[in-house]
Amino acid sequence: MSVEVSNLDHLGLVTGIIDEIGIERKINELIGEKATEKVTVGQVVKGMVLNGLG
């Protein structure tokens, strides 16, 4: 039996909560998405939150 331990720190937990409550999806619904976008507004907001906490 092999066990692997990973240190998620607080950013992994915050990312999980953001995904679970659907903040990114809700922002994308409110703002809208364009076919030419490589990164959605929701992804940008999620990245800004994580960057601010990191």
Q: Give the residue extent of every domain in the chain.
A: 9-53
What is the model's pTM? 0.76
CB burial string 10-40: b at 16+ within 10 A, e below: eeeebbeebeeeeebeebbeeeeeeeeeeeb
pLDDT along the chain (54 residues), means of 10: 79 90 96 92 94 86
pLDDT of residue 20: 95
